[in-house]
């Protein structure tokens, strides 16, 4: 159903879930040693040794994708005409033809949107089609074919992400909604999403209050693993995704620098990019219209508010990321060789209702009472941001979700989904 302008959904999930007791370490702690010592669970994370069960956790390996089969590259590019209520509208306010952009940008935005055509491809992959590839390409000269378009290519047992232009987008997502208990795991390597000085514009969606002309693209990045609050995630404008995340692990390389990494040797934050984030979106407040909710970030120095992140990634290294939804909250881990922490596993857990509450955590209406709802107005219509009676499914994705930012390549491998036994 849709409530007051936001899509609120009740959907079926991959499997019926059961809950189990959590054995989490205290929030703000690391299960690995920042000086390079081995973590107690191994750098590969739970289940990385090839076993099919998670002893004590009540979860069993249900799917394991190693990307040995080629992706379907024959699917036809289908034009996205931004149809109201269509499969890819997703949000009437911050979608690609959303009311917010028309309100703020007026004729400049409308004219900019009309200068190109948008195309999409969607294909399933893996056992039972449990994964879906969502691709976006911009047709800049409006000849009926995108000049490039984001994609995944199976290379050497890995899903090789290619976003040639910052107008491309491609993600791999869960085909079905995730249940109340699950763990998703992915290994990421060969990360090549570096910032660069250019005249590229984040058009037509990213401009500023009072100036409808698009800003210059001055950063680059990629999503390692994310849980969204809406069904069937797909690439969209970058403003959109910032309003539809529950928990995230990603990176960004930015010029000028706006991010920091926690340096445990100095017990302080150090201005830097190419970070590895582990963030929970703050549900207490809608946040900024342009950038979405503020967030709580796990670091080896404890939880921090704002853009202070866990550590930095290193060129040529591979990293394993997990997100687990438990009965009471989300646990995230990141494992690998980090800039400051060396070889280690970082681990953070937050309860859903722990202050600050996690944005749109509730998969069912009964989990939430409307305590943090706010009213916003877009296109002359009042919108409830988190009303009582709402429900938000968990879907995971990784890759490049932006169609006006991000260009580069990265490899994804060993995607594992654990479900209740």
**Cα–Cα distance measured from residue 16 to residue 12, given in angstroms and rounded to the nearest whole number:** 9
Among candidate residues 239, 240, 276, the one with its CA nearest the CA of residue 259: 276
Q: Which residues have CB under 8 Å from 401's CB, separation 6+?
A: 169, 171, 223, 226, 233, 234, 235, 236, 238, 241
Name the DSSP letter for residue 106.
H
Sign of CA dihedral 138, 142, 147, 152: positive
What pTM was computed for the model? 0.88
Q: Categorize the per-residue pLDDT at 33 as very low, low, confident or very high, splitting at 50, 70 and 90.
A: very low
Residue with the larger pLDDT of the pair 99 and 53: 99
Q: What is the mean pLDDT of residues 184-190?
A: 98
What pLDDT does 98 receive? 97
Query: Is the model's pLDDT at 169 over the cut of 80?
Result: yes
Sign of CA dihedral 330, 124, 92, 306: positive
pLDDT digits (tens, 9 = 90+) for 291-330: 999 999 999 999 999 999 999 999 999 999 999 999 999 9
Q: Interior CA angle at 135 toward 212 and 146, to 5°? A: 70
**Cα–Cα distance measured from residue 268 to residue 303, given in angstroms and rounded to the nearest whole number:** 13
pLDDT digits (tens, 9 = 90+) for 381-412: 999 999 999 999 999 999 999 999 999 999 99
Q: What is the mean pLDDT of residues 185-213?
A: 95
Adjacent-strand bridge partners of 375: 384
Among candidate residues 253, 266, 250, the one with its CA nearest the CA of residue 300: 266
Computed over every residue of the chain, the mean pLDDT equals 89
Three-state SS for 155-190 is ECCEEEEEECCCCCEEEEEECCEECCCEEEEEEEEE
Name the DSSP letter for residue 92.
T
């Amino acid at each position: 159903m849709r409530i007051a302008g936001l899509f609120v959904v009740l959907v079926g999930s991959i499997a019926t879930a059961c809950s189990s007791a959590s054995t989490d370490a205290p929030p703000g702690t690391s299960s690995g040693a920042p000086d390079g010592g081995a973590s107690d669970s191994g750098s590969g994370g739970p289940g990385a040794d090839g076993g099919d069960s998670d002893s004590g956790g009540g979860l069993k390996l249900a799917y394991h994708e190693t990307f040995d089969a080629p992706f379907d590259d024959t699917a036809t590019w289908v034009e996205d005409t931004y149809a109201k209520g269509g499969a890819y509208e997703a949000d009437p306010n911050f979608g690609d033809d959303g009311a917010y952009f028309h309100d703020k940008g007026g004729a400049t935005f409308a004219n900019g949107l009309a200068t190109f055509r948008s195309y999409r491809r969607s294909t399933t992959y893996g056992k039972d089609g449990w994964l879906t590839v969502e691709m976006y390409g911009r047709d800049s000269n409006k000849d009926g074919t995108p000049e490039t378009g984001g994609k995944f290519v199976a290379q050497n047992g890995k899903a090789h992400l290619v976003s040639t232009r910052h107008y491309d987008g491609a993600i791999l997502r869960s085909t079905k909604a995730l249940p109340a208990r699950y763990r998703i795991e992915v290994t990421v390597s060969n990360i090549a999403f570096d910032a660069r000085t250019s005249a590229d514009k984040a058009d037509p969606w990213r401009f500023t209050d009072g100036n409808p002309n698009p800003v210059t693209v001055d950063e680059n990045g990629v999503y390692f693993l994310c849980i969204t609050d809406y069904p069937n995630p797909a690439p969209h404008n970058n403003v959109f995704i910032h309003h539809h995340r529950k928990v995230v692990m990603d990176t960004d390389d930015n010029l000028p620098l706006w991010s920091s990494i926690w340096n445990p040797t100095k017990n302080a934050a150090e201005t830097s990019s190419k970070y590895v984030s582990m963030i929970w979106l703050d549900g207490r407040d809608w946040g900024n219209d342009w950038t979405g909710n503020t967030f709580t970030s796990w670091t080896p120095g404890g939880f921090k508010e704002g853009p202070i992140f866990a550590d930095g990634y290193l060129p040529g290294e591979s990293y394993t990321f997990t997100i687990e939804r438990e009965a009471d909250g989300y646990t995230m881990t990141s494992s690998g060789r980090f800039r400051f922490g060396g070889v280690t596993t970082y681990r953070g857990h937050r309860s859903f209702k722990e202050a600050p509450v996690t944005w749109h955590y509730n998969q069912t209406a009964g989990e939430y009472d409307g305590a943090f709802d706010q009213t916003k107005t877009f296109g002359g219509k009042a919108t409830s941001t988190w009303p009582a009676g709402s429900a938000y499914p968990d879907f995971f994705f990784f890759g490049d979700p932006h169609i006006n930012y991000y260009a580069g390549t990265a490899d994804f491998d060993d995607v594992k989904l654990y479900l209740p036994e």
